[in-house]
Amino acid sequence: MTVQVGDTLPENTKFSYVPYRDENSGITACGIPVNYDANKEWAGKKVVLFAVPGAFTPGCQNKHLPGYISKFEQLKSAGVDIVACVAFNDAFVMSAWGKANHVKDEILFLSDPKIEFSTKIGYTLGERTGRYALIIDDLKITYADMDSGPGVVEKSAVDAVLSKL
């Protein structure tokens, strides 16, 4: 089943996440992963969730993530409360990816290591998360689209998302 506009975020949507802390700000410093309950944290909020097939990979690092970093303030000005990135990588890799890009807690780097969430919404790329974007408003999906193939960053790009806010 593929997620549709108007659907509700699946129940029990949880990710693994290493919260940013100043004492763990070094790229080789490891924080402790926690369960991030999206249903609880995103209730009553507008969220932009974008997914990548893998942290540090060329398309994700060079084409996808930079737009969300550079246009973060535009997303906030458009009423977005939370910007989150998800990938199949574990929480430690996702945390390091955020640190490597000098992102503290502006963007959440969430792990979907068993691609449970991405499978639930029908947006996978083999054994990885697909490259997709969702806009979620008070747990209702108002935009959902996935790019067509490896290295393609169009429907999930920040400009596509901004045009739907």
Q: Which two tokens stand for residue 109?
A: 């780097």
- Check: CB of residue 154 under 8 Å from CB of residue 21: no
**Rounded-to-integer distance, Cα 84 and Cα 42, Å:** 11
Q: Up-side HSE of residue 86: CA atoms within 13 Å toward CB? A: 30
**Rounded-to-integer distance, Cα 123 and Cα 163, Å:** 21
- Cα end-to-end distance, the chain, whole Å: 25
**Count of H helices and E strands in the chain?**
7, 9
Helices (H), the chain: 38-41, 58, 65-70, 72-77, 91-100, 116-120, 158-162
Catalytic residue among 38, 47, 49, 60: 60
Note if 30 is an active site residue: no
The catalytic residues are 60
